[in-house]
Amino acid sequence: MYDFCTTSRKIYMVRRSKKMPLLNRFRIQQAGLPFMRRVAGYLKPTTEAAQRFGFAAKKNIIELHENELKRLCVEGEVRGAWQGADCGYVFLKTASWIWGCGLFLDPGRVVCQLPKSMKRWFAGKL
């Protein structure tokens, strides 16, 4: 079981604990895992949440070959004929690992939403 805490931009996911109320008086800098972020009125899953809970997703997953994922990181977007995804945020998967999110736009176009550190790392591997 989890609880959710919100700030103006982020929603955090915290493992539920009976003892949590004891800690209410502390000034908390971060509680649990950043789960969603508000982006232009939409909710975007964070990379951390995608990696942690993406395995449970039943749809809106785009499977890429590792070289396609590298190209997505370097070029910012890739095109292809992916089935079973609605327009909006999707999970990016290679083999059995979810890496984070992409933005699925017109049919066949995915825009990279992975963090800069990961983009730099993938760019270095090319």
* 68: Cβ contacts below 8 Å, ≥ 6 apart: 78, 80
Report phi then psi at 53, rounded to 5: -115, 0
Instruction: State the DSSP code for 49.
Output: H
In the window 44-63, what residues touch another protein (CB under 8 A)?
Answer: 46, 48-49, 51-52, 55
Decide: 122 and 74 in contact? Cβ < 8 Å.
Answer: yes
In the shown chain, the binding pattern of residues 79 to 98 toward another protein, with x for contact by CB under 8 A and - for none, equals -----------------xx-
Q: Give the nearer residue to another protein in terms of CB position, either 81 or 95.
A: 95
Out of 7, 20, 42, 79, the residue judged to bind another protein by CB under 8 A: 20
d(CA 124, CA 40): 31
* Residue 43 binds to another protein (criterion: CB under 8 A): no
Q: Which residues bind another protein (CB under 8 A)?
A: 2, 13-15, 17, 19-20, 22-23, 25-34, 46, 48-49, 51-52, 55, 96-97, 99, 117-118, 121, 124
